[in-house]
């Protein structure tokens, strides 16, 4: 007996909050469609994402269907629904469906690549990264260096923003030349679509092209990517690409789309964890040759990632439903992305102006072509911070000692959550405090005006030394 799955539906009822095109209006009214506490302002969508109530209900439907007839659903229906989501997300990123699978998150995707690649025994292989990459990915590089015990090394390029895209590309080219001049080979480069801290666009498309030109494998960490920037895999053609669906695509946690072109699929023989799809070189085991269920013509790469073990795959199943909701209720990817970019640019500038500081942007305005912006707080660290403040014309800066800064940092973040019922990612770099704010469809400029007042008040409280009493 076939198990029916109801199609996702948009929000129904009153026509209030509907645009002329028949789609939901963006802004605070849309917050009602999400399961937030009424007192909570979600200004940090970039860390963990969120999804609407209609997708929450859809996920629960999949969970209920699983429990009605576990074997029937898992053995017969599950892979069909995963295929539907793979095909839907493949269209969004313009990639062939046979090159697209799902993994739990971007970190898992990056680890899958780094741990599958075979490094040369001569110890000359080098992975090139950047100091702005996500910490977990940097640690994955470190693990590979340790595990393979000298076969591969890591070189890190330091980026001091704001930078023009061309400057970043030039730094990369120079690093590849240095590696080659030392008699080593640049095997792979790991870089972002949108970096996390600072939250800004990385020139990833150009970087992929340069990697291809220089014979370097491109590993693209798009943890921040799909749903807030335009992605065209066919045009860009990276060697490996992963992007979290649960951040900006309104999919339940955790789910990431993992793309490996057919030309490179032989380089990824195993999932993490290794599961039944792995084909060992030594096939002498007896009684271990249980046939895989019929795959309907799918290639081994897709079949391998289709079943990694018993787990909750309901986030994967929701991908097609989230895409449908974004299309039918919000007006589609172009409308959503255009709103995020515009709100990010206007809101970030407003907060910086209100604080009397600055925000990260380059001359061409490419760094803020995304859903996150970075604003400097009027708080500096150490003697270098004092010098930087004077260079910017700040006569009487608030300067914390290097010993005070971590305590003030923790106090600041705790006050955001406990007193103001919000969160904005605070970070310290270039000898001062910064804050990252995420734009989203349920926010508008009023939320940035409110955020500016909160950040100004908290900065003044730090200046008065309130954090020292905790």
Task: Kindly state whether residues 340 and 221 are assigned to the same domain.
Answer: no
Task: Kindly state whether residues 279 and 338 are assigned to the same domain.
Answer: no
- Element (DSSP H or E) covering residue 436: strand 432-438
Q: Are 320 and 415 in contact (CB under 8 A)?
A: no
Task: Kindly state whether residues 104 and 221 are assigned to the same domain.
Answer: yes
Degrees, nearest 5: CA angle 155-256-173: 25
C-alpha dist (Å) from residue 350 to 81, 141, 231, 261, 452? 44, 38, 28, 42, 8
Give the residue from 293, 322, 351 where a domain finishes: 322
Does residue 187 form part of some domain? yes
CATH number of the domain encompassing residue 179: 3.40.640.10
Res. 35 pLDDT band, cuts 50 70 90 = very high
- The gap between the terminal CA atoms of the chain, to the nearest Å, is 62
Task: Kindly state whether residues 311 and 164 are assigned to the same domain.
Answer: yes
Give the residue from 322, 357, 391 where a domain finishes: 322
Domain that holds residue 411: 334-464
pLDDT, tens only, 373-419: 999 999 999 999 999 999 999 999 999 999 999 999 999 999 999 99
Virtual torsion, Cα 318, 321, 327, 332, nearest 10 deg: 10
pLDDT, tens only, 193-247: 999 989 999 999 999 999 999 999 999 999 999 999 999 999 999 999 999 999 9
Task: Kindly state whether residues 215 and 105 are assigned to the same domain.
Answer: yes
Encoding tokens for residue 310?
Answer: 């018993």
Encoding tokens for residue 93?
Answer: 């990123």
Task: Kindly state whether residues 291 and 339 are assigned to the same domain.
Answer: no
Task: Kindly state whether residues 306 and 437 are assigned to the same domain.
Answer: no
pLDDT for position 13:
41
Q: Are 416 and 423 in contact (CB under 8 A)?
A: yes
Strand partners, 438: 372
CATH number of the domain encompassing residue 451: 3.90.1150.10
Task: Kindly state whether residues 199 and 342 are assigned to the same domain.
Answer: no
Task: Kindly state whether residues 295 and 191 are assigned to the same domain.
Answer: yes
Compute the distance between CA of residue 447 and CA of residue 267 in angstroms, rounded to an integer: 46
Contact partners, residue 430, CB within 8 Å, separation at least 6: 160, 388
Does the global pTM surpass 0.75? yes
């Amino acid at each position: 007996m076939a198990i029916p799955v109801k199609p996702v539906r948009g929000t129904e009822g009153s026509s209030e909050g509907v645009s002329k095109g028949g789609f939901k209006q963006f802004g605070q009214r849309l917050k009602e469609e999400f399961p937030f506490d009424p007192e909570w302002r979600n200004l940090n969508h970039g860390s963990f994402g969120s999804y609407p109530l209609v997708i929450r209900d859809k996920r629960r439907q999949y969970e209920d269907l699983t429990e009605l007839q576990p074997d029937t659903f898992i053995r017969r229906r599950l892979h069909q629904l995963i295929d539907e989501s793979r095909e839907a997300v493949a269209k969004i990123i313009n990639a062939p469906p046979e090159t697209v699978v799902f993994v739990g998150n971007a970190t898992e995707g990056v680890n899958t690549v780094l741990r599958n690649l075979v490094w040369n025994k001569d110890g000359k292989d080098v992975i090139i990264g950047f100091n702005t990459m996500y910490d977990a990915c940097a640690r994955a590089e470190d693990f590979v260096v340790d595990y393979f015990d000298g076969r591969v090394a890591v070189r890190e390029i330091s980026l001091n923003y704001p930078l023009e895209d061309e400057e970043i590309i030039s730094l990369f080219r120079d690093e590849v030349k240095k590696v080659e001049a030392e008699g080593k080979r640049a095997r792979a480069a790991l870089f972002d679509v949108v970096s996390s801290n600072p939250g800004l666009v990385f020139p990833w498309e150009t970087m992929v092209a340069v990697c291809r030109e220089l014979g370097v494998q491109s590993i693209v960490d798009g943890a921040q990517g799909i749903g807030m920037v335009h992605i065209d895999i066919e045009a860009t053609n990276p060697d490996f690409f992963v992007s979290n669906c649960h951040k900006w695509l309104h999919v339940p946690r955790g789910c990431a789309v993992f793309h490996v072109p057919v030309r490179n699929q032989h380089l990824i023989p195993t999932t993490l964890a290794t599961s039944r799809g792995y084909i060992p070189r030594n096939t002498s085991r007896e009684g271990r040759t249980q046939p895989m269920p019929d795959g309907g013509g799918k290639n081994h790469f897709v079949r391998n990632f289709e079943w990694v073990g018993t787990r909750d795959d309901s986030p994967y199943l929701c991908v097609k439903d989230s895409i449908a909701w974004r299309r039918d209720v919000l007006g589609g990817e172009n409308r959503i992305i255009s709103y995020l970019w515009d709100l990010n640019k206007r809101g970030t500038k407003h907060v910086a102006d209100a604080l009397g500081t600055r925000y990260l942007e380059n001359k061409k305005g490419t760094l803020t072509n995304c859903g996150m912006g970075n604003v400097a707080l009027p708080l500096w660290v150490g003697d270098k911070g004092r010098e930087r403040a004077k260079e910017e014309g700040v006569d009487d800066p608030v300067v914390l000692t290097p010993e005070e800064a971590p305590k003030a940092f923790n106090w600041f973040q705790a006050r955001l959550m406990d007193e103001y019922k919000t969160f904005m990612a605070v970070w310290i770099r270039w000898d001062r405090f910064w804050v990252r704010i995420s734009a989203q469809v349920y926010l508008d400029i009023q939320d940035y005006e409110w955020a500016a007042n909160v950040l100004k008040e908290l900065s003044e409280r730090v200046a008065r030394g309130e954090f020292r009493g905790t």
